[in-house]
Structure 1
Amino acid sequence: MPSRHFDLVSHWRIDAPVDRVWAVLTDPEGWPRWWPYVRSVCLLKVGRADGVGSVRRIEWATRLPYGLVVEVEAVESLRHERLRGRSRGALRGEGLWLLRSDGGSTHVTYVWRVELAQPWMRWLAPLLAPLFRWNHRGVMRAGGLGLARHLGVPSRVLC
């Protein structure tokens, strides 16, 4: 059975200070309030005070006719700069949030290296890769716009 990896990169510029953006991103249980494609977030394991070691189950909707459930373990947290998590479930891999302050704005880059765990996705990946990328861009774009609305600020989402 073929194995397919995807390297996906998204960019958001949020017109809010990095501490406000950080506070929202480090509260995954709050994501469903502002990220339209996040259906639910459930804390499975409490980690350290900085979040490292915590595990959450995240249920995602998509722009396509399927949903995904992944468990994400926080493995790194550098305040106001970097968050790293490892996922298992429908998508296995590593996600990295990078934040950079630029005056009163925050540049957010999300790097997602993922392996498709579901057999049907692996089999169809050679054919559907452009559709999977389109789907990811839309989900991330909605997240950036939702975050800006949640914070009451403009954004420039470059997904």
Structure 2
Amino acid sequence: MRPSATNQYHLTTLWQLDAPLETVWDVITHPERWPDWWAGAESVVALDAGDPDGIGARQHYTWKGRLPYRLRFTSCVTRVERHRLLEARVVGEVEGIGRWHFAFRDGMTILRYEWLVSTRPLWMNLLAPLARPVFRWNHDALMRAGGLGLARHVCARLHCHETRSS
């Protein structure tokens, strides 16, 4: 059975922080530490370190947003362009690609996160035609918490947080 389009999400989040790019890169590329500063990142367990650039690194994530459910998935880093791009394939209760884009302009580190995934739990897919806006809202709340937590963690100010879906 082919999944319907209602279980597919393309969400993009933009964060702008007045922090050095190298500092932000270092924090984002160590996801096992995310639960220390990112509300909603319940656990990140390192499974494999990958090669010296991080390609092949694997982690198991458990996320809990504002809604009464958790999402669990495993991520494998597939692409690294130092200080520019970090991409991973995810499998589990969501499947697809997560991609961090990094830039530095006018004294600001700009992070754009793309989440191109399909949900797998049957209950989510059955509810998706009606609950899709609520699932997007939950994702936005998690990403807002991440932006604020990252800013606090690196002693910076979050100048922009924006999430879009298509």
TM-score range, shorter chain: over 0.9
RMSD, matched Cα: 1.0
After TM superposition, give the deviation of residue 79 of structure 1 in Å. 0.4
Report what 2:18 is aligned to: 15
After TM superposition, give the deviation of residue 77 of structure 1 in Å. 0.6
- Partner amino acid for 2:109? T
- Verify the 8 A CA contact 1:17 1:103 in the aligned structure 2: no
**Residue aligned with 1:158, SS:** strand
Report what 2:71 is aligned to: 68
* Residues in 2 aligned to 1:37 and 1:73: alpha-carbon distance in whole angstroms: 20
* Residues in 2 aligned to 1:99 and 1:121: alpha-carbon distance in whole angstroms: 31
Structure 2 residue aligned with 1:96, among 95, 99, 120?
Answer: 99
**Residue aligned with 2:140, SS:** helix
Deviates more, 1:99-108 or 1:25-34: 99-108
Structure 2 residue aligned with 1:124, among 124, 127, 144?
Answer: 127
Encode CA deviations 1:18-75: one digit per residue, 9 max, x unaligned: 1110000000111001101101111112201111101100111111000111100000
After TM superposition, give the deviation of residue 123 of structure 1 in Å. 1.1
After TM superposition, give the deviation of residue 149 of structure 1 in Å. 0.3
Report what 1:108 is aligned to: 111
Q: What percent of counterpart residues are identical? A: 42
**Normalising to structure 1: TM-score of the pair?**
0.97
- Verify the 8 A CA contact 1:18 1:80 in the aligned structure 2: yes
**Normalising to structure 2: TM-score of the pair?**
0.93
**Residue aligned with 1:13, SS:** strand
The answer for unaligned runs of 5 or more in structure 1 is none
* Residues in 2 aligned to 1:68 and 1:144: alpha-carbon distance in whole angstroms: 19
**Residue aligned with 1:141, SS:** helix
Confirm or deny that 1:28 pairs with 2:28. Answer: no
Report what 2:90 is aligned to: 87
Report what 2:140 is aligned to: 137
Report what 1:58 is aligned to: 61
**Residue aligned with 2:34, SS:** helix
**Residue aligned with 2:67, SS:** coil
Structure 2 residue aligned with 1:49, among 33, 49, 52?
Answer: 52
After TM superposition, give the deviation of residue 105 of structure 1 in Å. 1.3
* Residues in 1 aligned to 2:38 and 2:101: alpha-carbon distance in whole angstroms: 18
* Residues in 2 aligned to 1:112 and 1:11: alpha-carbon distance in whole angstroms: 12
Q: Note the 1:143-158 alignment, pairs <5 A.
A: 143-156=146-159, 157-158=161-162
Encode CA deviations 1:68-122: one digit per residue, 9 max, x unaligned: 1110000001000000001011100101100111132101000110101111111
* Residues in 2 aligned to 1:28 and 1:49: alpha-carbon distance in whole angstroms: 16
- Partner amino acid for 2:162? L
